[in-house]
Copies of this chain bind each other. A is one copy, B any other.
Amino acid sequence: MSTAANNLGPTSSVVALCGGVGGAKLALGLNRLIGDRLTVVVNTGDDFEHLGLHISPDIDTVMYTLSGLSDLERGWGRADETWNFMASLEQLGGAAWFRLGDRDLAMHIERTRAMRGGASLTDFTSSMARKLGISATILPMSDHRVETVVDTDDGQLPFQEYFVRLQCKPVLKHLTFRNAASAVATPAVLQSLRDPDLAAVIVCPSNPYLSIDPILAVPGIRDALDKIAAPIIAVSPLIAGQAVKGPTAKIMAELGVPADSISIARHYPFLSGLVLDEADRKDAGKIDLPTHVTQTLMKSVDDRDRLAAACLEFASALATKE
């Protein structure tokens, strides 16, 4: 593993684009390998105000995962969580469809307080990551509120209505990233992508439509990616046509796109290479890009380390070729 990290060179940096659970697993592996040389740019299209609190689900998943606080069984939220706030909220007739654990709540309350006091989401996230002892830099994709809105056969739905309350059951027809046109990428995100020592950009195995596209919709980010000399690789979130978790395959079917890694490669036109699962080895030949075939399912922490190392090695090999 240290080989992969050492291949980078002592000042080289890596940027990962990441959504929630699946992406955070790979970000953890990268964080373990290269620590403070890693910047994770996280989707905030899922952010919403709920109970008067600013909730940033993917940022929190990444922070909890990288700090070792996440619940590995549940896949979201914190370990050793309790739910007495929710029980009490239900008793008082409050909205209980979006579950907030007692420990998790501290993050939302601190974030809301800090942001009402004028802190940007970037500032707040940076401060919390430091408090939690995380080596990597975690950056929201934007400090503007870009909101993912889902057009479905049940009408237009705010993201969390679709994702949590309706559990992705409505048929997705189209996605809109509201306010994207008027948003701007933060100086921190642009700086990470323009770093002369940037060795690789890794698109984590997150949902391309719900988690990565919102990041790409922020003006300035796609443009910066197009100008990057370093390899940009993605890890396909599909294994044998299925996502490990979440509605990626269902959404692809609804959008009339074959649910395979060939489609993933096409989805990201800026890629230098694609990492795909052994189960999809047959697809490698049909992809018009360098590919790396490996086990992409991350069950253990070792799996996360191993896939992170494979990504760094693959990117390093692509850089050498260029």
Residues on A close to B: CB < 8 A?
A: 51-53, 78, 80-82, 84-89, 91-94, 101-107, 109-110, 112-113, 116, 127-128, 131-132
Asked if A92 and B52 sit within 8 Å, CB to CB, the answer is no
Asked if B93 and A52 sit within 8 Å, CB to CB, the answer is no
Bound Cα distance A43, B121 (Å): 37
Bound Cα distance A94, B127 (Å): 12
State how many angstroms separate the Cβ of A64 from the closest Cβ of chain B.
Answer: 11
Asked if A92 and B128 sit within 8 Å, CB to CB, the answer is yes
Asked if A110 and B92 sit within 8 Å, CB to CB, the answer is yes
Asked if A103 and B131 sit within 8 Å, CB to CB, the answer is no
Chain B residues positioned under 8 Å from A92 (CB to CB): 106-107, 110, 128, 131-132
Give the interface SS of chain A, mostly helix, strand, loop or mixed. Answer: helix
A89 contacts which of B89, B91, B110, B116 (Cβ < 8 Å)? B110
Q: Offer 17 A-B interface pairs, CB within 8 angstroms, sorted by A.
A: A52-B109, A52-B116, A81-B84, A82-B82, A84-B84, A84-B102, A85-B102, A85-B103, A85-B105, A86-B106, A88-B106, A91-B131, A91-B132, A92-B107, A92-B131, A93-B131, A94-B109
Chain B residues positioned under 8 Å from A112 (CB to CB): 52
Given contacts A84-B82, A85-B103, contact A51 B113 (CB under 8 A): yes
Bound Cα distance A3, B182 (Å): 71
Bound Cα distance A85, B102 (Å): 5
